[in-house]
Amino acid sequence: MANLKEIRNRITSVSSTMQITSAMKMVSAAKLKKAQDAITEMRPYSDKLTQLLQSLSASLDAESASKFSEQRAVNKVLLVAVTSNRGLCGAFNSNIIKEVNRLSTEKYAGKDVYYLAVGKKANDAFKKTNKVIANKSDLFDNLTFENVAEIAQTLMTQFVEGEFDKIEVVYNQFKNAATQVVTAEQFLPILPIESDEKATNVDYIFEPSKEEIIEQLIPKSLKMQLYKGIRDSFASEHGARMTAMHKATDNAKELRDQLKLTYNKARQAAITNEILEIVGGAEALNN
């Protein structure tokens, strides 16, 4: 009977776990809807702003180019790793950490690589290197454009002052609830747009000058680019957690059913043994 008691305890434990994972799945589903709407509405504006900025930058000569477009020898690199503060979201965080490590050891081998952690998991992964310049884990407590803009402004200042020669943002791009695409996006310097015959043949009239427009658009575009990346990661986190908790709930249900079947078989065998003992004892008394 001790075996039956052990199985009952496991059934109770698995059932409790299943209730927790099911509740977490529903919470993430509710948060995902809001985060998904936010990133879906933001993308067209952000993409069009970036496209406009790149088109204007491509039409300027080298002397008029912005200080944020300066291409120089890459010696010091900053990788902005965007993860979550909490786990239980599958491979969401580990994929980002693997990609950042790959960039450090392969793409930027021999370079001086530093990290900016946006999320507790990124900070935990890279703090042992002593090259984490800042930990922005508290950003997700109040994720607003103003708070992200402060981080973007700091990055722009560090690039202009020569503290870093190149800055990349590594985050999970939201595709759908079940799919997140690990993306490494160059933040600074601004990448020149590829030549486009249709775009270059159009003669625009700018008021004020193209240089003034670009000087105003670049900081805004960079802040929006970083905000979009973090928003993408935020939506991806809830999608990954919802999917992970859905699978965990299904696995717990399957395990609970197997335990119940095992329990019923063991209980049936115990009852059968008791009946056999009673019958055997009765026959012995009759003899």
Q: Which of 89, 122, 125, 167 is catalytic?
A: 89
Please indicate whether residue 130 is annotated as part of the active site.
Answer: no
Within the chain, how many helices (H) and strands (E) appear? 6, 5
Neighbouring residues of 81: CB distance < 8 A, sequence distance ≥ 6: 96, 97, 100, 115, 116, 117, 118, 119, 122, 125, 126, 170
User: Is beta strand 132-135 parallel, antiparallel or unpaired with respect to 112-118?
Assistant: parallel
Alpha-carbon gap, residue 87 to 98, rounded angstroms? 16
Neighbouring residues of 208: CB distance < 8 A, sequence distance ≥ 6: none
Element (DSSP H or E) covering residue 129: none
Element (DSSP H or E) covering residue 116: strand 112-118
- The pair of three-digit structure tokens given for residue 33, joined into one six-digit string: 């809807």
Question: Is 91 strand, coil or helix?
Answer: coil
Residues with active-site annotation: 89
